[in-house]
Structure 1
Amino acid sequence: MKNALITGATKGMGRAIAIALAQEGINIAVNSRKAEDLAAFKTELLQINPAIKVFTAVADGSNKDELLRFAKNAEQELGTITILVNNLGMYAYSKILDDEKNLFQKMINTNLMPSYELYRFFGKTMVSVGEGHIFNICSVAALNPVVEAGIYSVTKAALYSLNNVMRLEMQQHGVKVTAVIPGSTLTDSWKGQAVDKDTMVMPEDIASAIVNIYKMSKGANVDELIIKPAGGQL
């Protein structure tokens, strides 16, 4: 049985991805800052598939020490992690000149640092066993910057670049790396705004795509996947 670790998995895309992987019989490791959210989600995942193991940890993914403790404990509880979904992220609607004092570092610690640190933590083991798949949840803002979300665009572009370096480092070792690049997706980033879900990408669309990419033959990899609203970006 395979083991997956997903950051930021109690809401939005991460939640949908965890559910989709659980349905495939894959053990799941997830973290959150809220113990009650983790307990409820663990119960839900085990109801979906009682045959899997679910490891949860109260950990702030934007805190390096807590993140790596979560990774280490997940590995000890489940075994070798061969599916890594770097999903943790935050969105801030702000032009760079208007950014709050600590927003830059907060964005780096949330949108970029976890993917870098988890890659370093799990990457050598993936190389040693000759298998693995890393999914980095980027954004169309990485390709087409949104000036009204300046530092968000910058950090997602950095994640996209990191993804490409990961892929080149890993491709000779049998480890796959995929950049998932969603457009306007119905997550908490849109909370409080009047939106029509029929004009947006749904989290389940991202989850379905990831499962299908993961299930491809050993010799095939999707370098990057762009999923945008059929009617264009919102």
Structure 2
Amino acid sequence: MPSPVVLVTGCTKGGIGYELCKKFSERGCRVYATARKVENMGGLKDFNCTLLALDVTKQDSIKECISRVLQEAGQIDILVNNAGLPAVGPLLEIDYDVAHRCIETNVFGVLSMCRVVGRLMANQGSGKIVNVGSIVGYAGTAWAGIYSMSKAAVHSMSDVLRLELKPFGVHVTVVAPGSITSNFGTASTGTIDIPENSLYASVAKYIYARANMSQGPASMPTDVFATKVVDGILAPRPPNYLTVGTNSWSFLLLYYLPNQIKDFILSRKLGINEVKAVTH
């Protein structure tokens, strides 16, 4: 039986995509690792991964990358849509360029990849699409509204794709990471810009803390996370949702709690109760 061909997006070193590629390769898969800059994936060649440039927000880049994979491997058995950008800041004040880049990459980038690869899989009568969402796709948090919105959209999109692609033998799984050790906290901090007249200047420390919330000492090691995900995806019948990582099940619980209770918990955790009223 030939090795499954796996295409993973967003494989920059230090992120979860990088570790997923290693684990897929260790399990005998033929792995194509992609990122905007090939040089940012250094080390994956040692794990027999093929490195390709891919910008999921550009149609030409998508077509060129997938064409290369098809020329070499003939098909794509597993697509992992992992490429994503953070966006941290109050919804009323976050920089629009940051917001647009986040939505364009996290939502339309995933959709663009699914539109091309999903059709290929439908034509071959089999395939697995894995869309990386987030626990904030279950329960949006203050100071990360744009990112939460983008991941909720990924969850919703995946639910529809799972229905629409089922007749063609294609399965769609959502991976909802909790707190996983990665470089995401540093990237998130870089998106923060609190203006002088911010409504939330009094809780700036909470906004910065939110950017690094997933990177505490209790965060799940990336290799442990990747092992759990790869095991689930390579199973004969992958789950519809894989919720993995520190705090993951608490956020899943928040999804089912009444809004009053959820708001109370998140307000205390994220400093909403300490926001000072604007004075004139």
CA contact (8 A) 1:31 1:61 kept: no
After superposition, the C-alpha distances for 1:6-55 in whole angstroms (9 at most, x for unaligned) are 000133110111000001111111222333234x3342212xxxxxxx33
Bigger mean CA offset, 100-109 vs 57-66 = 57-66
Q: 1:43 maps to what in 2?
A: 45
After superposition, the C-alpha distances for 1:60-81 in whole angstroms (9 at most, x for unaligned) are 3333322332222222222200
In the TM superposition, residue 188 of structure 1 has moved relative to its aligned partner by: 1.0
Q: Could you tell me how far apart the structure 1 residues matched to 2:9 and 2:111 are?
A: 13
Bigger mean CA offset, 92-101 vs 223-232 = 223-232
Q: Could you tell me how far apart the structure 1 residues matched to 2:238 and 2:233 are?
A: 8
Structure 2 counterpart of 1:63, one-letter code? K
CA contact (8 A) 2:179 2:247 kept: no
CA contact (8 A) 2:11 2:33 kept: yes
Q: Could you tell me how far apart the structure 1 residues matched to 2:44 and 2:245 are?
A: 30
SS state of the match for residue 161, structure 1?
A: helix
Q: 1:27 maps to what in 2?
A: 30
In the TM superposition, residue 196 of structure 1 has moved relative to its aligned partner by: 4.0
Q: Could you tell me how far apart the structure 2 residues matched to 1:9 and 1:83 are?
A: 15
Gaps of 5+ in 2: 190-211, 252-268, 270-280
CA contact (8 A) 2:179 2:245 kept: yes
Q: Could you tell me how far apart the structure 2 residues matched to 1:174 and 1:33 are?
A: 30
1:222 aligned to 224, 231, 239, which one?
Answer: 239
SS state of the match for residue 81, structure 1?
A: coil
After superposition, the C-alpha distances for 1:210-231 in whole angstroms (9 at most, x for unaligned) are 22122323xx330112123169
Q: Does 1:97 align with 2:92?
A: yes
1:68/1:109 CA distance change after superposition, 3 Å: farther
Structure 2 counterpart of 1:210, one-letter code? V
Aligned length: 223
Structure 1 counterpart of 2:224, one-letter code? D
Structure 2 counterpart of 1:37, one-letter code? N
Matched-pair identity in %: 27
Q: Does 1:3 align with 2:5?
A: yes
Structure 1 counterpart of 2:5, one-letter code? N
Could you tell me the TM-score, scaled by structure 1's length? 0.86
In the TM superposition, residue 207 of structure 1 has moved relative to its aligned partner by: 1.5
CA contact (8 A) 1:4 1:27 kept: yes
Larger radius of gyration: 2
Structure 2 counterpart of 1:77, one-letter code? E
Q: Could you tell me how far apart the structure 1 residues matched to 2:85 and 2:247 are?
A: 24
Q: Could you tell me how far apart the structure 1 residues matched to 2:117 and 2:57 are?
A: 17
Q: 1:209 maps to what in 2?
A: 228
CA contact (8 A) 1:55 1:74 kept: no
In the TM superposition, residue 176 of structure 1 has moved relative to its aligned partner by: 1.4
In the TM superposition, residue 189 of structure 1 has moved relative to its aligned partner by: 1.6
Structure 1 counterpart of 2:220, one-letter code? V
Q: Could you tell me how far apart the structure 2 residues matched to 1:139 and 1:96 are?
A: 18
2:20 aligned to 7, 17, 22, which one?
Answer: 17
Q: 1:160 maps to what in 2?
A: 155
Structure 2 counterpart of 1:41, one-letter code? G
1:149/1:137 CA distance change after superposition, 3 Å: same
What RMSD in Å do the two structures reach over aligned CA positions?
2.2
CA contact (8 A) 1:67 1:114 kept: no
CA contact (8 A) 1:3 1:26 kept: yes
Q: Could you tell me how far apart the structure 2 residues matched to 1:13 and 1:103 are?
A: 21
Residue pairs, 1:120-139, within 5 angstroms = 120-139=115-134
Bigger mean CA offset, 221-230 vs 154-163 = 221-230
In the TM superposition, residue 98 of structure 1 has moved relative to its aligned partner by: 1.1
SS state of the match for residue 11, structure 2?
A: coil
After superposition, the C-alpha distances for 1:61-107 in whole angstroms (9 at most, x for unaligned) are 33332233222222222220010000001112111111113223211
Bigger mean CA offset, 23-32 vs 155-164 = 23-32
CA contact (8 A) 1:55 1:77 kept: no
